[in-house]
Amino acid sequence: MNRLLTTDKLICALDTGLRTLFAKPHSERAHPDMAIDESPMDNQQKKHVSALMRVNHTGEVCAQALYSGQALTAQSAATSITMQQAAREETEHLAWCESRIEALGGHTSVLNPLFYAGSFAIGAVAGALGDKWSLSFLEETEKQVGAHLASHLDQLPATDEKSRRIIEQMQIDEAKHANDARQQGAAELPAPIKFCMTKMSQLMTSTTYHI
């Protein structure tokens, strides 16, 4: 029975990875910017906003990978379900970011498979350490993503209401995920681990802005 469950989890993890990296993401909710008209921007502004949304898109790819890895090695069914649910909700963010990038004439990062593999490995290790630590990684990940989103809001052109609406809704969702993890018993991560997560996040941000 346990072997069957493990096989099912592996198939689910593989399916999530393939869909995240190669399939067109879909959103059950309406895109936050759907009712907003496109505002005039020059080519430099479009290039900058597209790069910011590319960073956000790769951040969501990393989140998908992390949660998929955690779901695979989670010690309880409840935690596994929490991770799978978080991953499903992050898929909507992928759809919103990708749609916005396309509208601006940009492209998603070619480094996504590399970052997915690294994040999946980290998630699998976190899940194996125990549920409270797995939830801690979820909470800290969402906090750091929220901080990135806040900084991106400050960098948007004042007239770009479409990108602003997307990022603001993503902020709301990320905060909810972090709060849910805390309510379910997330432990406080040691400072060195938070530091390493921050450095990895900075590496992702600096590379995917350009590539």
Q: Residues comprising the binding site?
A: 60, 90, 93, 142, 174, 177
Mark the binding-site residues for Fe cation, compressed into ranges.
60, 90, 93, 142, 174, 177
Return d(Cα 70, Cα 125) in angstroms, integer.
7
Q: How far is CA 112 from CA 41, 58, 108, 124, in A?
A: 27, 6, 8, 18
Chain Cα centroid distance, residue 33: 19
Is the Cβ–Cβ distance between 126 and 70 less than 8 Å?
Answer: yes
The closest of 189, 211, 203 to 142, measured between CA atoms, is 189
Question: For the CA atoms of the chain, what is the radius of gyration?
Answer: 17
